[in-house]
Structure 1
Amino acid sequence: MKDVTPLTEGWTLRHGRDRLPAQVPGCVHTDLLAAGAIPDPYLGTNEADVAWVGRRDWTYETEIAAYDGLHERTDLVFDGLDTAAVIRLAGEPLGAVRNMHRGHRFDVTGRSGPLAVAFTSAYAEAGAVRARTGDRPNAYPEPFPFIRKMACSFGWDWGPTLVTAGIWRPARLERWSTARLARVRPLVTVDADGTGRVEVRLDVERTPAGAHRPLTVRARVGGAEATAALPGTEGTVELTLARPELWWPRGYGGQPLYALDVTLHDGTSAAAPPLDSWTRRVGFRTVHLDTGADAHGSRFTLVVNGEPLFARGVNWIPDDALPARLTPARYRERLRQAADAGVDLVRVWGGGIYESDDFYAACDELGLLVWQDFPFACAAYPEDQPLRGEVEAEARDNVVRLMPHPSLVLWCGNNENLWGFRDWEWEEALAGDSWGEGYYLGVLPRVVAELDPTRPYWAGSPWSGSWAHHPNDPAHGNHHDWEVWNRADYTDYRAAVPRFVAEFGWQAPPAWATLRRALGEGPQLAAASPAMLHHQKADDGNGKLERGLARHFAVPDGTADFARWHYLMQVNQARAIAAGIEHWRSHWPVCAGTVVWQLNDCWPVTSWSAVDGDGRLKPLYHELRRLYADRLLTVREEEGGGLAVAVVNQGAEPWSGTLVLRRTAVDGGVVARAEVLFAAGPRAVAVVPVPDGLPPSAASAKELLVAEADGLRALHFPVRDKDFAYPRPDFGVAVVRAGAADPDRVDVVVTAHTFVRDLLLQPDRLDPAATADRGLLTLLPGERATIAVRGWSAPAPGAREGADPAVAAVRAALFCVEPA
């Protein structure tokens, strides 16, 4: 049987004469941080102080001991090298690499001695390639299109410029004899009658001594077993299961996973000695992308196991700008947060990486569908060598690596490059030079069709399906909506119904404790401080934040009243995303999905995320839990005039009942009331017109419409916040300690004496480790709400009767909308 020796110990990092201990897997930045040689680039403006790291060459070194065992062959295997490097053993070159996104294997049989992996600066490598291919248009002034490396290493409008180098994924020695499993491709399908099939396609590598030996492959899954002779280097084993349990996205069914075991044997039967083995978990399900024409254009609807889905999605960026630091636990925590927010689809964005198997394994278990971009983003990419060969090699590596995962449901060619060619003045600048179209419409669909025909491929995001339509045509294919954030008001999301919204977003600063950790105390905690602006990477980001807020609220002074500025920016983010999702969900099945930009951050930064760079939840996260729940109420303005309540039911059971409608004065008085029956079928939307006399007048500053059903509520305000006559908020606060029954829980009970809009408890102001189970709350006079806080050791009540320092602490951490 094959023998595997991890190469994790004994590495050093060398630059010139300087040597440091090195961690493998890891990168230069993490090794320098561990040695105290650089400051934390995530704090203050330290990012600029470590820019030199990415412009130098670095060498990793260790020792390969002599081998005196019986195996015929020894391979040196790297799962990921970042990025351009020459590998030498005992001073002799083994090979050169130039792609972060693929693995590499070298035959080192009979060889030993010093092993050196010498990395060239990614800037130098990209510059050399650009000199050969000529320049190309790019959304950012960095050379990432000229090197197959994580594009956002070079910075993005939410990320730092930290150009990494290193052995970023595991390295090992593999020793084997006769033959090994070089590639295993399980094609998992389900017939119309429910029969499950696994077609295991195999490639083996043989030693010279094993070139003509008979081999047998055995495969097993879910109690089914099959064997096949392997006379050459390729073969197929077919397995059949009678009606296996289907894998479903979360909310639609379970996520049963079946272990698929493949063993290579030296001989003519499965009883012969094993040479190599391969095990993965697979799931049985069908997936189809419905792009058929209809009265509204052409659809973009994911269909799993025959069930059309409204995708409740989030965009995923690398969760750390130094991705070697990501762990299985970190992936699971972040993806669990997504699932808990009602998300059922995660789009792995094209400026990042093909994630670790740990990421996809967690999605398999959590029922999160994965849309995987190939890593191309926001630039024209040359199709010349050496890039073209690397692109095909990495695509083949990763399609094969990821195809066992049932969560993976869509391959997508790129992010915004087809759109960029048409709208960003690339065509004239290119003057006929290649720019990536040959990848997205040629190489990549060919590779997917050859290796993984069980999944759909789509050329880009956005993409309308052909050049017959504009690439970002909302009536065809998938659509990105950035015009609203960049130039308009978030209420303009309601002006259109795209077929699928794959990107849209609104910025907000991270949590208060995250800012304090990243910026420190004092004058840097201000909207326009040098450190705050350093952690705002978007073009005119603060300007767009303030213009967007000014349409709804008076903009607080970002220095004198930074706490309120911070709160209102977070409110505006949640309101913006709610405006889009409520509108688009109410128009299912014309619109078949929303993918919020973005779930996560890779460092502490003002961005579009719902979970900030320290893993803390913004108010947007809690709002997503409401917006992505199976049941949702929203009030919408109809094209012909008047209001309607959309009763959105994404559950498997019908939803019927009584919709209670109230025209309510701001002081709590009910001006008019009606009860209307509704019935929304499974996975359907019922639109209920609001009866005459219920809507407040269009200019009313003192009335709102309240719609309620089965504990859910939707509010409609006829005017914007700055024009609404909010009373001075008045509410009571009590702190209830759970005690021994649940010692980590403290309940904050808020009782509204007046109308209270968008009340927010910022738990990290109580303790950086504290969390709350709720975000923004709106209470009518007399209503009460309980917020469960964990991770806070609330102080004991004071000796004076009625004195409770915990209440004072809570009041300092509570914010709400106040009158203009």
Structure 2
Amino acid sequence: MKHLHEGWTIAGGEITDLPATVPGCVHTALLAAGRIEDPYLDENETKLAWIGRTSWEYSTTFTPDLDAPRIDLVCAGLDTVASVELNGAPVGRTANMHRGYRFDVRPLLRAGANSLKIKFDSPYAYAEEVRADLGERPNAYPEPFNFIRKQACNFGWDWGPTLVTSGIWQPIGLHSWSVARFAEVRPQVTVAPDGTGRVEVRVRLERAAEEPVTITASVAGRRAQATVDGIEALLILTVDEPALWWPRGLGDQARYDLDVVLSSAAGELDSWSRKIGFRSVRVDTTGDAFTLHINNTPIFVRGVNWIPDDVFADRIVASRLRERFVQAADANVNYLRVWGGGRYESEDFYDLADEMGFLVGQDFLFACAAYPEEEPLRGEVEAEARENVVRLSSHPSLVMWTGNNENIWGHEDWNWKAPLAGRTWGAGYYFDLLPRLMAELDPARFYWPGSPYSGDSKRHPNDPVAGTTHIWDVWNTDDYTKYAAYRPRFVAEFGFQAPPTYATLKRALSDDPLAPDSPGMAHHQKAIGGDQKLERGLANHLPAPRDFDDWHYLTQLNQARAVSFGIRHFRSLRPLCMGSIMWQLNDCWPVTSWAAIDGDGRKKPLWYAMRDAYADHLLTLQPRTAEAPKAGGPDPVAPGAVFVAEGAPALVAVNDGGTPWVVAATVTRRSLSGHVLAASFLNATVAPGSAVTIPLPVDLTTPEDPTRELLLAESGSERSFFLFAADKDIDWPAPNFTTRVTTEGKSTKVAVTATSILRSLTLFPDRLDPSASPDRADVTLLPGETVTFTVTSEESLDEKALVGRPVLRCVNDLT
């Protein structure tokens, strides 16, 4: 294809003949030209609402080659409602950001200069017109995103700005061809019980002539060929015992080149190539379970939810995705759930997932709203689903499609039924259209109607006893210790908020001074009641902050503890619970949110807590009753109450590695000064993919003074603390420690030796250099213990500032 990416200008409103990058969008063109201020800074976002309510025109000229009988204009992605004109003649109209369009333009092309114009209607005007025609439908936000097939979070979310884009967001160009071309190549890759790999390559052609053509497919030295008079063909290749593709941590990511060539007597006409992987996938839902099996191995999903990494898609290049994927891999993540308010992720995204061994669950693009099932939306929904299911079918990383995000739950619980008054809301998509398309186009992949969904229409859709569940009462109304009351099968969303790193705040906000409620901070908190919920979370657990520096440290610490608490609990329930997908890995701009990595790509303390909680070997102290855990959720708890889990702490060892783990643990009850008050030595061998719970002696679990004692479990490098009281109720001694700082090149080592207990010692070197990043966070030291933080930075760091407040922090320094 010959790309048409040069010479574009845009016009709209008072803007005329402004140069524009393609692929791109109006916002990035205006920003590059200095016509708008950066919408991510301060409150600039609020000045840009006019862009989404303006019609825009993209224009360019080009000189084509006219030596082919068929020339198509191929638009891989237009955002969103557009009319295409070539040399003044209408070519076609689009109404879907999530699919491509192809137009035969050979009759309209002429020698020399040709004029191409793409006129984009205001997304708001279109969506509001459809809403007026079809009738209002409830949704979670006062925006019409459910009436247009466009990235929903463009219209704002509880973590994202309202920046409603328009533009040529994917490649565009001319495809010249003759006789026939590949309209669709759809491989289905399976592995038989005897280890034989099978590739069924289904091909659909578009023809410009009726002559016979030949299709040849090859993989791993095997070749199949068919001569075709019509437009469809099936080629089958078998590979004896191919090397399997495994998720990260369980084996290699073996991939093979699959090549498909279309030819005629005159030579090659078209070609298609992808890397494929042989693996088997199934999800066991028998007996209320929800367990993912890869190559007949049950997998505990150590997951994160993924949102678009930037509001403006042209900024999300392969190198940026790789950085994010490396951060996820380093945090021991094995699963990425692509959330339904964003996009069908890119080839770059899925190629990286294939290469690095991530499992991926892709939502169909419906989120937090009732969606009309009538035209003009229904036809677009089917077209986008067909295109993307086929497009992604070759990727071994993709293991699951989900019908929507929270819409079945919303219909049940969010007071939708009365205002809907019998109008359609999406059920026909989730329970009929999408499963039929999956059965037709990609039957080997698992489909689940929604997230959450319990698997039975007679059961509440968010019942944790079966299927997938979202746990949001913890953030919205209750304390994070309530996670311990849940016995879920698979948790697809849960999380807790905190602000971004300090360096990110200082870059994005001009507030002076910074405060939790200063104008920029308030604008970059999109969750309703978010600051009050942060305050409630702190009040339940930690000393009251005295200033912004305290607030920033404590809210980030509380987020890390909350999510770590949930992950450790869910993993400790294995095999009852087989999945934990934390909300969320990443941010799309600088914002107070649930993310582990902020909008500037910096790791918050949550990232380190997640890394430790998702480690292959997990040693954790968990409250346990004598009765074996059963699936289900907690009994009702008063809003804002601190849930106290029943039962004495027990030692749980979880092994998600590939070999047995021999645990030789020492568990001690200690005073805050470090003195051992009781001790026990416990041994267990934990098989791969399993968990072992070891009860503790009464003298360990019964403190004399809960506010002055703690439990510590240790086995090799694995360590777990259990406090009998909240930090705010403990009389922590004043922090006492010595430090030693050594620097070599871009690496600085900060050794801290405790002479008193140091609770949740954390280093924030980005306060000194925005590029600086530590290797760990939230470390509790007993007297006499030493930890060494390794900091990487581009600039030299002030050694005195590095070991003082507000850079080096612990809970003790608030008491």
Short-chain TM bin:
over 0.9
Name the residue aligned to 1:198.
199
Which residue of structure 2 aligns with residue 277 of structure 1?
271
Shift, 1:642, TM fit: 2.4
Instruction: Give 1:696 shift.
Output: 4.2
- Work out the CA distance in 2 between the residues paired with 1:668 and 1:696: 17
1:94 aligns with 2:91: yes
Residues 44 and 519 of structure 1 are in contact (CA less than 8 Å); yes or no, is this contact kept in structure 2?
yes
Aligned partner letter, 1:360: Y
How many residue pairs end up in the alignment? 788
Q: More displaced, 328-337 or 138-147?
A: 328-337
Per-residue deviation, 1:521: 5.2
Q: Which residue of 2 aligns with 1:115?
A: 116
Taking the aligned partners of 2:704 and 2:241, their CA distance within structure 1 comes to 57
1:621 aligns with 2:623: no
Which secondary structure state, in structure 2, belongs to the residue aligned with residue 175 of structure 1? strand
Match of 2:355 in 1: 365
**Equivalent position amino acid for 2:355 in 1:** E
Give CA-to-partner distance per residue, 1:640-667, whole Å, 9 cap, x none.
4322100111111111232101111101
Q: What letter is aligned with 1:769?
A: S
Q: By how many angstroms is 1:494 displaced? A: 0.1
Deviation at 1:131, TM superposition (A): 1.1
Give 1:277-426 correspondences, 5 Å limit.
Answer: 277-293=271-287, 298-426=288-416
1:693 corresponds to: 699
Single out whichever of 223-232 and 147-156 deviates more from structure 2.
223-232
TM-superposition CA deviations, 1:333-392 (whole Å, max 9, x none): 111111110000000000000011100100001111000000100000000100000000
Correspondent of 1:468 among 458, 469, 491: 458
> Corresponding residue for 2:51?
53
Aligned to 2:69: 72
Secondary structure (helix, strand or coil) at the match of 1:644 reads strand
Which amino acid in 2 is paired with 1:117?
I
Name the residue aligned to 1:144: 145
3-state secondary structure, aligned to 2:184: strand
What secondary structure does 2:97 align onto? Answer: coil
Contact kept, 8 Å, 1:698 with 1:719, in 2: the verdict is no
Contact kept? 1:66, 1:111, Cα under 8 Å: no
Q: Secondary structure at the match of 1:216?
A: strand
Mapped contact 2:510–2:520 kept (Cα < 8 A): no
| TM superposition shift of 1:67 | 3.0
Structure 2 counterpart of 1:453, from 426, 439, 443? 443
The change in CA–CA distance for 1:698 and 1:360 in structure 2 (over 3 A counts) is farther
Q: Which of residues 515, 521, 526 is equivalent to 2:515?
A: 526
Q: Offset of 1:807 from its aligned partner?
A: 3.0
TM-fit CA distance, 1:332: 1.0
Equivalent in 37, 41, 49 of residue 39 of structure 1: 37
* 2:489 and 2:577 in contact (8 A); partners too: yes
Displacement, 1:65?
Answer: 2.0
Tell me which residue corresponds to 1:780.
782
How far does the alpha carbon of each residue in 1:96-154 deviate from its partner, in whole angstroms, 9 at most, with x for none?
A: 11000000000011423211100001000101111110000111000000000000000
The match for 1:505 among 476, 492, 495 is: 495
Question: 1:8 maps to what in 2?
Answer: 5
Q: Is the 8 A contact 2:746 2:796 kept in 1?
A: no
Report the counterpart of residue 28 of structure 2 in structure 1: 30
Q: Provide the C-alpha distance between the structure 2 equivalents of 1:698 and 1:467, rounded to a whole number of angstroms.
A: 50
State the alpha-carbon separation in 2 of the partners of residues 710 and 193 from structure 1.
40
The separation in 2 between residues aligned to 1:393 and 1:808, in whole angstroms, is 58
CA deviation after TM superposition for structure 1 residue 631, in Å = 0.3
Q: 2:155 & 2:107 partners in 1: Cα distance?
A: 40
Q: Does 1:133 align with 2:119?
A: no
Which residue does 1:801 correspond to in 2? Answer: none
Contact 1:83/1:165 (<8 A) preserved:
yes
Output the amino acid matched with 1:34. Answer: A
CA distance in structure 2 between the partners assigned to 1:63 and 1:448 by the alignment: 41
Q: What do you get for the CA RMSD once the two structures are aligned?
A: 1.1
SS at match of 1:551: helix
Q: C-alpha displacement at 1:692, in angstroms?
A: 2.0
In the alignment, does 2:569 pair up with 1:583? yes
Does structure 1 residue 553 correspond to structure 2 residue 542?
yes
2:549 aligned to which of 560, 563, 588: 563
2:684 corresponds to which of 672, 678, 689: 678
Tell me if 1:633 matches 2:619: yes
Letter in 2 for 1:613: G
2:754, 2:781 within 8 Å by CA — same for their partners in 1? yes
Q: Distance in 1 between matches of 2:142 and 2:567?
A: 33
- Contact 1:288–1:303 under 8 Å retained in 2: yes
Letter in 2 for 1:242: D
Please say if 1:168 is aligned against 2:169. Answer: yes
Provide the C-alpha distance between the structure 2 equivalents of 1:766 and 1:217, rounded to a whole number of angstroms: 61
> Would you say 1:104 and 2:101 are equivalent positions?
yes
Q: Does the 8 Å CA contact 1:699/1:719 hold for their aligned counterparts?
A: no
The corresponding residue for 1:799 is none
Aligned residue for 2:258, secondary structure, equals strand
CA contact (8 A) 2:335 2:358 kept: yes
1:791 is aligned to: 793
Equivalent pair of 1:505/1:596 in contact (CA under 8 Å): yes
C-alpha distance in 1, partners of 2:544/2:217? 65
Rate the CA distance shift 1:68–1:636 in 2: closer, same or farther, 3 A.
Answer: closer
> In the alignment, what sits opposite 1:182?
183
**1:784 Cα deviation after fit:** 0.6
| 1:762-802 deviation per Cα after TM superposition (whole angstroms, max 9, x unaligned) | 1211200111111111111111111111114335xxxxxxx
TM-score (norm 2): 0.96
DSSP 3-state at the match of 1:315:
strand
Aligned counterparts of 2:91 and 2:803: Cα–Cα separation in 1: 63
Q: Residue in 2 aligned with 1:798?
A: none
Displacement of 1:167:
0.3
Q: Is the 8 A contact 1:696 1:718 kept in 2?
A: no
Gaps of 5+ in 1: 796-804
Q: In 2 relative to 1, CA 814–454 (structure 1 residues): closer, same or farther, beyond 3 Å?
A: same
Checking the alignment, whether the CA contact within 8 Å between 1:735 and 1:807 is kept in structure 2 is no
The reply on whether 1:480 has 2:470 as its aligned counterpart is: yes
- Structure 1 range deviating more: 56-65 or 402-411: 56-65
Counterpart AA for 1:418 = I
Letter in 2 for 1:57: S
Residue 66 of structure 1: CA displacement?
Answer: 4.4
Question: Any unmatched runs of 5+ in structure 2?
Answer: 627-646
* 3-state secondary structure, aligned to 2:52: helix
| Aligned-residue offset at 1:700 | 1.5
- 8 Å CA contact 1:67, 1:110 repeated in 2: no
The structure 2 residue matched to 1:808, chosen from 782, 801, 813, is: 801
1:530 & 1:159 partners in 2: Cα distance? 17
TM-score with structure 1 setting the length: 0.95
Q: Contact 2:663/2:686 (CA < 8 Å) preserved in 1? A: no
Work out the CA distance in 2 between the residues paired with 1:793 and 1:36.
30
One-letter amino acid of the structure 1 residue matched with residue 733 of structure 2: P
The residue aligned with 1:427 is 417
